[in-house]
Every structure is written in C-alpha cells, then in structure tokens.
Amino acid sequence: MVLRIIPDIPWTIQLPEIGAFRIYVRRNRGYWLHDPLTNEGFMLGALQRAVRPGDVIFDVGANAGLYTRCALQCFQAARVIAFEPVPENVKHLKHNLRLGAIESRVQIVPTALAESDGQGVFQKDNVTFASGTLDAVSQGEPSQSHAQYKFAAVTITVDVATMDSLVSSGAVPPPAVIKLDVEGAEAMVLRGGRRTLAAHQPIVVVELHGAPVGREVVRLLWDAGYTVCGYFRANNGQPPGVYQKIGQREWDGMTDFYSLHHLIAAVDPTRIADPIEPFAPTPK
C-alpha cells in the first residue's frame, strides 16, 4: 500500500497570511495534496464573516492549529480556546502556535467536549490524525481513516467535559464564535453547551458528518433560537449547492451525507444572510 511507504517526517510549509506551518508528510498529506486554505474555504470564509476584532473563539477540534492560526492572524480575534484531546495533536498544535508567535493568545484545553463530564474512550486516527472521534460516536468501530484502510481500532482514554461546565466554572471565557469539527460528535457538543448558547449567543460554524447528526444539530440550534444557513444540495446534487436559510423543507431533505456539509448559525440572522464566500488569502 502506497500509504505505508510515505515517510511521516515533519515538514514546514508556508501558508499565505499565516507563514510557517508544520505538517507531517503522511498524516497531514492533505496539506500538500491540496491547498489547505482553499480546501477549507467555507469554514474559513464563515469564520471570516463571524469573527470581529477582540472576539474569543472556541476552536473545538483544533488538531494542528490551522483554524486557530487563521482566527488570530487573519481575522483579528483576541483569543482562541483550542480544544484538542489527542496528546500527539496537542504537541503538534503547540509547535504551530510557536511558529506563529501566538502562544500567549491561545488557551489549550486537552479535553473532548461532549454532553457529560469525566472520561471517555476515544478512537484514534493514526493514519491522518484528522478523523479521530469519541467511541460513543463510532459505537466501537474504528475511526474513519482506520476503517477506510482496514486498520485495527486504536483507542485511548481522554478527558471529556461539557462546554457549559467549563464556561460556568470560569475555566474558559464565554465564546463569541464557536468553530466545531469533531467527526460526528457535533450534537453531543451542542447538547453539552445549551446554557452557553442561551446566555452568550455565539455564532456557530460547523462541519457536519452525515445526515442524521446534521438533522440533530440543526434541530438543536433551532431550539436555541438560531437561524441556520448553509450550502444545501437537494437530491444528491452537486457541490457547492445553494446558499440558503435551512428550514423544515431542507431539514426533511437532508438524506445524503453531504446534503448539508457545513453550516453557519446565528441568533441575529442579518449576520449570516449573505452567501459565505470562500476565504481568499492575499499572498505575501
């Protein structure tokens, strides 16, 4: 298998408006196979729309730190709370924060956000370090990359906490914007953050992982008083779809994995009414 012979050595690349960013050649191969800023166009464009100077951002599923770096270096956020439960990812994240000279503006929380406090089993992804998820999501099955390449499951025990408990205890400040990419645990995170959503009304930017969890996420946000928008693809249509407010008709039509792959939600609908344009960095 070609994947097995790709050396997993560290390599520092240069990203527009961010600068030096370290990846590993095998596990982060998407960074050199595709332009990462373009590949993450909607999510970064949505953050560009949502973030205002001085905001506190929750980067839930921070991984190597791409979104944290963009929030601080491109979008003028004041501070990022980076949630990342996997020790190897935390080490990688810290290195990239040092490269950006932004360590003092980031609080790393080595915890998985969920709907309860304590500990949980986590399905690791040793192939790409991007598809790891809580075992409660995968129901005992290996992470997506391990399943794709027929690798055995690898699990670790991680700390888990609710957003509400961390905010109410003062362990982290309340967010103005939440970026959420947690490989299927999106609804779990939001269920554990109901009080935070109600009290602070942050804009929420989500990458969804399948129609069932997508419908649950939209319903949770509706119940919290949010308007939800995104590029919706009806009847397995081609990307990017049509940017629109997600209503009952679209909710009923969320049957394909990518019917609604990303969303942005806000209590103030004027903040998200216009179509999200992909982030377009200015080369230096």
Assigned domain for 88 exists: yes
Assigned domain for 283 exists: no
Give residue 144's pLDDT: 66
Tokens 């969890």, residue located: 213
Assigned domain for 95 exists: yes
Assigned domain for 14 exists: no
Assigned domain for 234 exists: no
Give residue 256's pLDDT: 87
State which residues form the domain around 74: 38-207
Question: Total structural domains in the chain?
Answer: 1
Give residue 147's pLDDT: 58
pLDDT in tens, 231-268: 998 876 667 789 999 999 999 999 988 899 999 999 99
Assigned domain for 274 exists: no
* 3-class secondary structure per residue, the chain: CHHHHCCCCEEEEEECCCEEEEEECCCCCHHHHCCHHHHCHHHHHHHHHHCCCCCEEEEECCCCCHHHHHHHHCCCCCEEEEECCCHHHHHHHHHHHHHCCCHHHEEEECCEECCCCEEEEEECCCCCCCCCEEHHHHCCCCCHHHHHCCCCCCEEEEEEECHHHHHHHCCCCCCCEEEECCCCCHHHHHHCCHHHHHHHCCEEEEECCCHHHHHHHHHHHHHCCCEEEEEECHHHCCCCCEEEECCHHHHHCCCCCCCCCEEEEECCHHHCCCCCCCCCCCCC
pTM reported for the whole predicted model: 0.93
Assigned domain for 214 exists: no
State the Cα–Cα distance between residues 27 and 3, nearest whole angstrom: 9
**Which stretches in the chain have pLDDT values below 70?**
1-5, 125-131, 138, 142-151, 153, 236-238, 283-284
Assigned domain for 282 exists: no
Give residue 54's pLDDT: 96
Half-sphere exposure of 217 (CA within 13 A, CB side): 32
- CATH code, domain carrying 54: 3.40.50.150
